[in-house]
Amino acid sequence: MARRPPPLSALRPFEAAARLESFSRAADELHLTHGAISRQVRALEDHLGAQLFSRHGKRVALTPQGRVFAERVRAALHEITLAADAVASRRRDNRLTVSVVPSFASRWLMPRLIRFMEKHPHIEVSVVATTALANFTTDEVDIGIRFGKGPYPPLVCEPFLEDQWFAVASPKMKIPRNPADLLKMRIIREDRDYWDEWFVAAGVKLDKPLAGGPVFNDATYSIQAATRGEGIALARSSIIGEDLERGTLKRLFNVSVKTNERYWFVSPKELAELPKVRAFRDWVKSELR
């Protein structure tokens, strides 16, 4: 008949104490108290009916039995660690984590993402929508979609979509007759927009800064504010299509601004050519076509 296994919670404290030959140093490593390590080791000794350490005041040393047991425990914990790493690695292999700005995530990516999942059912997609730059190490991000001038060394960068900006407003609003009339209306701003360039392209001279209006850190919110009739927004063609088709927003004037900002795929070199990352890039480009 098999014996009852030893208390598993005591194995890590014992292994640390055996490796370091110190209860105090083991306590520091495991963020426990000296007394907690001592109690766990004592419980293990009571279960085994054998002395694992000889104690000389605050000093401890493995007994011959303790040394043999420590080697077996260390090997067993190593096998458990390898098994856990294998499971985590397989899950990581199947998971694709995409970091993307919220506006592109909500207004372009999410309505189409089901088609990627149907085409690649073995890939588990995790979307991180944030204006913060991805940390490819701590956040386990595989690929980022950035909007800006780029490139972003040392990352592997590939531009995939250019954009243009134009003015939009709710049909509920009184539509101005010419671009200069916008200076009398509430202008919706973003942290980074091209209103000044738009007015230059429209032939309107700006003698003073634009009148104050709401300022948002993402295009999603500026578009929502424009839809509610709270002002005139400057929209990007890449994310405004559905609003124009549904008629919730209307383009004002045949004036647009193209900039040197665009959308980029970005990944560390060691991730850029993974099959799941290539599959995602290829799918986005096919959707754009």
Write the pLDDT tens digit of every residue in 33-78: 989 999 999 999 999 999 999 988 778 899 999 999 999 998 888 8
Structure tokens at 101: 């700005």
Computed over every residue of the chain, the mean pLDDT equals 88
What's residue 1's pLDDT?
38
**Is the residue at 2 inside a domain?**
no
135 in the same domain as 164: yes
How confident is the model over 13-37, as a mean pLDDT? Answer: 90
Pairing between β-strand 250-251 and β-strand 156-169 as defined by DSSP bridges: antiparallel
At residue 90, the pLDDT reads 47
11-20 and 64-94 helices, crossing angle to 10°: 120
Range of lowest pLDDT (90-94, 125-129, 240-244): 90-94
Share of the chain above pLDDT 70, in %: 94
Return phi, psi of residue 79, to 5°: -65, -40
What is the C-alpha separation between 259 and 231, in angstroms, rounded? 23
The helix/strand/coil state of 187 is strand
* pLDDT score recorded for residue 88: 52
Report the pLDDT value the prediction gives residue 139, as an integer from 0 to 100. Answer: 78
Please identify, among 37, 61, 92, the residue that sits at the C-terminal boundary of a domain.
92
Angle, CA of 165, 169 and 172, to the nearest 5°: 165
pLDDT at 145 over 50: yes
Q: Which residues contact 169 (CB under 8 A, 6 or more apart)?
A: 175, 226, 229, 231, 232, 233, 249, 250, 252
pLDDT of residue 276: 95
Q: Are residues 280 and 245 in the same domain?
A: yes
Residue with tokens 């049909």: 171
Question: What CATH number is associated with residue 85?
Answer: 1.10.10.10
Amino acid in the structure at residue 32:
L
Residues 179 and 88 in one domain: no
Q: Are residues 73 and 209 part of one domain?
A: no
Residue 212 binned pLDDT confidence (cut-offs 50, 70, 90): low
Q: Output the pLDDT for position 86.
A: 57
- DSSP secondary structure letter of residue 181: G
Domain boundary among 92, 126, 143: 92
- Return the structure tokens found at 159: 């531009």
Question: If we measure between CA atoms, which residue out of 98, 246, 104 comes closest to residue 168?
Answer: 246
- As a whole number of angstroms, the distance between CA 191 and CA 193 comes to 7
- Domain tally for the chain? 2
Kind plus residue range of the DSSP H or E element containing 258: strand 257-267
Assess if residue 3 is contained within a domain: no
Answer whether residue 224 is part of any domain: yes
CB neighbour class for 191 (10 Å; exposed up to 12, middle 13-18, buried from 19)? exposed
* pLDDT recorded at residue 213: 77
% of the chain exceeding 90 in pLDDT: 57
Is the domain of 106 the same as that of 66? no
Both tokens assigned to 16: 């640390």
Q: Is 14 helix (H, G, I), strand (E, B) or coil?
A: helix
pLDDT given at position 127: 94
Is 71 or 193 the better-scoring residue by pLDDT? Answer: 71
The alpha carbon of residue 20 and the mean position of all alpha carbons in its chain are separated, in whole angstroms, by 38
Query: Is there a single domain that holds both residue 228 and residue 200?
Result: yes
Residue 105 has pLDDT above 60, yes or no: yes
For 18-110, strand residue ranges (E) read 53-56, 59-62, 95-100
The pLDDT of residue 79 is 81
pLDDT at 137 exceeding the cut of 80:
no
Cβ of 217: how many Cβ atoms within 10 Å? 12
Q: What CATH number is attached to the domain comprising 231?
A: 3.40.190.290
Task: With a cut of 60, say whether residue 89 has pLDDT above it.
Answer: no
Contact 53, 13 (CB under 8 A): no
Q: Which tokens hold the place of 44?
A: 């293990």
Do 37 and 106 belong to one domain?
no
What is the per-residue pLDDT for 192? Answer: 77
pTM: 0.64
pLDDT greater than 50 at residue 91: no
Residues 148, 50, single domain; the answer is no
Average pLDDT over residues 144-155: 90
